[in-house]
Amino acid sequence: MKNWIIVILVVIIHFNGFPQGNYQRIKVSNDIELVKLSKNAYVHISASEISGFGLVQSNGLIFVNGKEAFLFDTPVTDSQTKDLVDWIKDTLKLKIVRFAPNHWHSDCMGGLGYLQSQGIESYASQKTIEIARTKNLPVPAHGFKDSLQLHLGNELIKLYYLGAAHTLDNIVVWIPSEQILFAGCMVKSLNSKNLGNTADGDLITYPKTIDKLIRKFPTAKIVIPGHGEFGGIELIKHTGKLLTK
């Protein structure tokens, strides 16, 4: 009987081995925590009230090289963003030098105003910049059309606009050295039963964008969605299935 219990536990662990529970979790504040992916990468998770959706947990990414960090997406508010930036500076002893949002929604760049007050350079799709201007939001400083290569020290970071999906301007971030794809809200966690908020998206183009994504990054080891648990390439495939419903 004990042997069967052990076998069952091993199977459970095997099929649930990738979720965030297997990674070190670090509490930043009552509404922010980090999940350490590697010595150079963290997922930041913040909980905020979002109009129409209630309390929502949103994901972002921190990539580290030496004493510098690149931040991808902010928490929803300036105050939460300040808490995160201060903790990174005081606890990890890192300086955030660059920032890029996945798209224009508040769960991606709600804290951009604070980052700009700290002199942090920001990069975004030109479409994000255009939307931010029309909506009187803080505007990222540097834009790109299809792709942009940046460096954090000697580490390469690639930003891509592959097409409309969750929003018209959503991008993805690829970190080759870590094989990490920060896909943001266009990709859904395995627990997602639907596509969530698509009010600002394009459901016609969405499947084509997801197809481009899976063909472009077949070697991705970690895929990070905008909300929910990260995983592997199966998250992109799951999103594709949701699009066929």
Q: Is 9 within 8 Å of 222 (Cβ atoms)?
A: no
In DSSP terms, 244 is beta-bridged to none
Q: How far is the C-alpha of 204 from the C-alpha of 201, rounded, in Å?
A: 9
Q: What is the mean pLDDT of the chain?
A: 92
Between 158 and 7, the higher pLDDT residue: 158
CA 68 – CA 55 distance, rounded (Å): 31
Q: Tokens for 93?
A: 């002893």
Report the pLDDT value the prediction gives residue 20, as an integer from 0 to 100: 60
Amino acid letter, 170: N
High-pLDDT (> 90) share of the chain, %: 87
Please tell me the predicted confidence (pLDDT) of residue 56: 87
SS3 153: coil
Residue 142 has pLDDT above 90, yes or no: yes
Q: Distance (Å, rounded) from C-alpha 197 to C-alpha 194?
A: 9
Give residue 21's pLDDT. 64
Q: Is 52 or 167 the better-scoring residue by pLDDT?
A: 167
Which residues 6+ apart lie within 8 Å of 146 measured at CB? 160, 161
pLDDT for res 19: 56
Taking residues 128-144, what's their average pLDDT? 98
DSSP letter for 22, please: G
Q: Kindly report, residue by residue over 94-133, the tens digit of the pLDDT.
A: 999 999 999 999 999 999 999 999 999 999 999 999 999 9
Alpha carbon 52 to chain centroid, angstroms? 21
> Where do the domains of the chain lie?
22-243
- At 8 the pLDDT is 34
Beta bridge partners of 56: 48
How many CA atoms, within 13 angstroms, populate the side-chain half-sphere of residue 35? 20
Rounded mean pLDDT of 64-77? 98
What's the confidence (pLDDT) of residue 51?
74
According to the model, what pLDDT value does residue 105 have? Answer: 97
Question: Considering the domain 22-243, what is its CATH architecture?
Answer: 4-Layer Sandwich (3.60)
Predicted confidence (pLDDT) at residue 3 exceeds the cutoff of 70? no
Active site residues: 103, 105, 107, 166, 185, 188, 197, 227
Provide the β-strand partners of residue 182: 173, 224
Cβ count near 50 (within 10 Å): 16
Q: Please tell me the distance from the alpha carbon of residue 210 to that of residue 225, in angstroms, as a whole number.
A: 13
Per-residue pLDDT at 10 exceeds 60:
no
pLDDT above 70 covers a percentage of the chain that reads 91
Task: Provide the 8-state DSSP code for 40.
Answer: T
Mean pLDDT across 30-58: 92
For the cut 50, the answer to whether the pLDDT of residue 83 exceeds it is: yes
pLDDT at 11 over 80: no
